[in-house]
Amino acid sequence: MRIRDWDHNLKVRLYGEALMNTTFWMFFPFMAIYFADSFGKETASMLLIVSQLFSVVANLMGGYCADVFGRKRMMVLSAYGQGAAFFVFALASSPWWSSPLVGFLCFTFAGICVAFYWPASQAMVADIVPEKDRSYVFAVFYTSVNISVVIGPTVGGLFYADHLFWLLLLAACSCLTMAAVLARRLRETAPHSAGGRRTVPWLRFWREQIGQYAVIVRDRTFFLFIIAGVLVAQTFMQLDLLLPVYMKETLHKETLWAGWTVDGANAFGLLIAENGLLVALCTVMVTRQMARFSERWAFIGSAVLYGITMWLFSQTSSFFGFAAVMVLFTLAELMTAGLQQSFVSRLAPEDMRGQYFAAASLRFTIGRMVAPMSLAAATWVGYTWTFVGLGMLALASAALYAWMFHQARQQTERPDISLSQ
C-alpha cells in the first residue's frame, strides 16, 4: 500500500505530525536534565510520577471520548491544548520570566493532551486501513516519528542550553498550526455509533468508563499484554529519563573527531539522533524480517534484548560505547515496532477500538508514571544497580509474553472460548 494510495486523512496527519514531532523533540529529551537541575533528582522523580498519573487518567478518558465524541474532535482539541501549554511554558522560560514550577505544570498539561490525542489517532488508522495493511501503515508513522527524533535532538542539542524559550515557542506554533489544519482538512472516521455526544451526569460517565474497561480487563490475553508492556517500558522509558542524567554525570569532555569535543548533554543529543536515524532507516526492513517469525518470539526476543542493553549501559562511560549499545537498544525497539498496534487492532472489537488502543497505551502512560523512580533509585543504590534492576524487569516481561501467548493458544484451541473471554 503506497503512501500516494493512502486515505487523505492519513496523508494530512503524516506530514503535519512530522512537523509537530520534530519541534517537540527539539526540547523533550532534555526535560529530565532541566527538571533534575531545577528541583534535584529525587524531587524531579516524584514530580514526573505525579505528571504521569494525570496522563493515565486522561488516557482512560481519551479512548472513551474518541469512541463517543469522534476521532477528529479529540485530535483537534488535543493539538490546540498542546500548543497553548507549550506557549505558556515558553513564557515561563523566557528572558523576562523564569519559573520551573509553571514549566512543570505546562509540561504536565501537554502530556494530558497527548494522552487524549494518541488513542484517537490510532483508532483512526484502524478505522480506514484494511487489516492486512495496518502493520505497514503503523510502521510508516513510526518511521516518521523517528525521522523527527533524528532532526529534533540534533538541533535541540545545539540550542537547548541557551535558547529553550525559542524552541518551546516553535513547538507551540507547530501544534497550533497542526490543530487548525486538522480542523479544516480531516473528516470523521468513527463508526456511526460514535461521534454523537451524549450528555450524562459525571458520576454516570465514570461508571460507564469503569464498566467499559472492565470488559477489556476480562480479555486475559490483552491484560497480560498490558502488564508485560508496562514492565518492559521501564527500560526504553529511560531513554529520556535516567540515561541523559547518567551521561551528563559520567561522560565529561570527550574528543570525537578532528578536535570536536562533546560533554554528556551534547553526546546524549547525538545518541538520540542515532536512535532516530537507525529507526528511520531500518523500521520497514526489520518489520518485514520479523514477519518471518512468530509474534511470540518477536515480543520475547525484544524484551530479552532490552534487558541485556540495560546492563551494558551500566558498564559504559564513553561516547562510542554508548553508541554501540544504542544499536542493540534500537534493534530491540524495532523487533516489535510494526507488530504491537496490529496485534491490538486484531484483538479489539470494531466499536471499542478507541478504548482498546487507549488501554494499550497504558503500557506507556503507566510505564512512564513509574519510570521516573529510576532517578530516585540512582540516588539511593547507584546507577549500576538501577540499570541491573531495570534489566531484570525486562526479563520478567519476556516471561509474561511467553505466558500470554500460551494463554492465547489455549483459548483458541477451545471452540467454546473466544480470545476476549
Q: Where are the domains of the chain?
A: 3-187+201-413
Q: How far apart are CA 297 and CA 271, in angstroms?
A: 28
Categorize the per-residue pLDDT at 163 as very low, low, confident or very high, splitting at 50, 70 and 90: confident
**Model confidence, pTM:** 0.73
371 phi and psi angles, rounded to 5 deg: -55, -35
Q: How far is 16 from 22, CA to CA, in rounded Å?
A: 10
C-alpha span between 152 and 22 (Å, rounded): 5
Give the tens place of pLDDT for each residue, 41-62. 889 888 988 888 888 788 777 7
The whole-angstrom separation of Cα 357 and Cα 67 is 11
Q: What percent of the chain stands above pLDDT 90?
A: 30
Per-residue pLDDT tens digits for 197-250: 454 555 676 676 666 667 667 778 888 899 999 999 999 998 888 998 898 888
| Per-residue pLDDT at 416 | 40
Closest CA to 240 of 276, 282, 268: 268
More confident residue, 288 or 386: 386
145 band by pLDDT with thresholds 50, 70 and 90: confident
The average confidence (pLDDT) of the chain is 84
Give the confidence band of 258 by pLDDT, cuts at 50, 70, 90. low
CA distance 71 to 65: 8
Handedness of CA 218, 221, 225, 231 (dihedral sign): positive
What does the pLDDT look like over 76-132, one tens digit per residue? 999 999 999 999 999 999 989 999 999 999 999 999 999 899 888 888 888 888 877
Residue 330: what pLDDT? 93
Q: Is the pLDDT of residue 419 over 50?
A: no
Q: Outline where DSSP puts E strands in 16-168.
A: 93-94, 97-98
Which of 127-131, 276-280, 313-317, 388-392 has the largest mean confidence?
Answer: 388-392
The more confident residue out of 292 and 177 is 177
Distance (Å, rounded) from C-alpha 126 to C-alpha 383?
Answer: 41
CA distances from 109 to 28, 58, 145 (A): 14, 10, 21
Going by pLDDT thresholds of 50, 70 and 90, the confidence category of residue 194 is: very low
Name the architecture of domain 3-187+201-413. Up-down Bundle (1.20)
> Do the beta carbons of residue 345 and residue 126 sit within 8 Å?
yes
In this prediction, residue 65 has a pLDDT band, given cuts at 50, 70 and 90, of confident
- Confidence (pLDDT) at 200: 53
Residue 192's pLDDT band (boundaries 50, 70, 90)?
A: low
CB atoms under 10 Å from CB of 416, counted, come to 6
**pLDDT digit string (tens) for 336-372?**
876 787 788 777 777 777 677 767 877 887 887 888 8
- For residue 418, what pLDDT band results from cuts at 50, 70 and 90? very low
Q: Show contacts of 248-251: CB within 8 Å, 24+ apart.
A: 248/33, 250/317, 250/383, 251/317, 251/318, 251/319, 251/322
Question: Mean pLDDT over residues 276-284, rounded?
Answer: 81
Share of the chain above pLDDT 70, in %: 90
